[in-house]
Amino acid sequence: MVSRLDYRNIFAALLAFALAGSSCTEPVDIDLNSISPRLVVDGSVTPDTTAHRLLLTRTTDYYNPDISNLGIIGAMVYVIESDGGENEHVIPYHEVTGGLYVSDSDFFGTEGKVYTLHISNVDIDQDGETEEYTASETMPYVFARFDSISAFYGEGLGPIFDGRPGPGWNIRLYGQDPPGTREFYGFMLTINDTSFDAHLLEMFRISDEIIQGAYIAGIALYYFMDNGRRPLKQGDIIKMEGISITEKFNTYITMLQNIGGIPLFGGPPSNVKGNVSGGALGYFSVYSNRRAQTVLR
């Protein structure tokens, strides 16, 4: 009996023989299927008063990764801010370069308001007809109070790091979770102004399901062992940013983490669904934030 593996080997040998034989008479073109390009959206709205950024690119072939002109130029981009009623405010985005679009520097988001992204005058598939894309999210509420962070030197503190041997530094959070709504929190740390986990796939995330409406009295969110990958020392300046993200964005990040992140060329995998219409990839995120810092002593 011939096993399935044997059949594959026989087929591969016959295919190689056929290609070798035909190459003596004429070239053989093997058509590797191309995937139609798709728009990739990467941008966010936060409460920070700043020029908010939006990057528009297109996907490219895996087998022919032309990365020289991935940026989408000439698009019309704006965001509508709404309070859920008749009050709306249009925030235009201006093209800077290479697919990067920014708002005016005095723009800031507000918790509870809805932000809808509009993208038009884009012809991704090059069929002569422009497409339109939209995405919408409500800015979630974040900590009612983000009082402070502190550092405790010793063994890992529970419940997250309980049982981890020291010595090392525990970075603890103090703050008030808002009652009544479910939040999904993400945390990002900088050490002496160097980002420790600025990438979404590295961001530590928790739900407030257990601490709903409670005061967070010094829960350890980070633990740095002295012999670990990133040891700390006295005098280091630690800054923490706590952000509140939507449940859908939290799911999107989890899916990216489960498949190993974003590929080198192109956008996120097509089976990771974002919130942009029209078959576009990526995500238009809307989140609120708070910040605090401490010095190791």
pLDDT tens sequence across 28-40: 444 444 567 899 9
263 has a pLDDT exceeding 70: no
C-alpha span between 67 and 33 (Å, rounded)? 19
Mean pLDDT of 1-7: 34
What number is the average pLDDT over the span 119-131? 92
Mean pLDDT of 188-203: 84
Between CA 164 and CA 168, with CA 165 as vertex, the angle to 5 degrees is 95
Position 280 scores a pLDDT of: 94
Instruction: Report pLDDT for 262.
Output: 61
Q: What 8-state DSSP symbol labels residue 105?
A: T
Per-residue confidence band for 269, with pLDDT thresholds at 50, 70 and 90: low
Q: Residue 131's pLDDT band (boundaries 50, 70, 90)? A: very high
Question: How large is the average pLDDT for residues 179-197?
Answer: 87
Given a cut of 60, whether residue 187 has pLDDT beyond it is: yes
- Strand 39-45, strand 281-286: pairing: parallel
Q: How far apart are CA 150 and CA 159, in angstroms?
A: 17
pLDDT band at 159 (very low <50, low <70, confident <90, very high): confident
- For residue 54, the model assigns a pLDDT of 96
Across the chain, what does the average pLDDT equal? 82
Least confident of 44-58, 93-107, 249-263: 249-263
Contact 77, 101 (CB under 8 A): yes
Bridging pattern class, strands 114-122 and 100-102: unpaired
Question: Which of 3-12, 61-70, 141-150, 261-270 is most confident?
Answer: 141-150
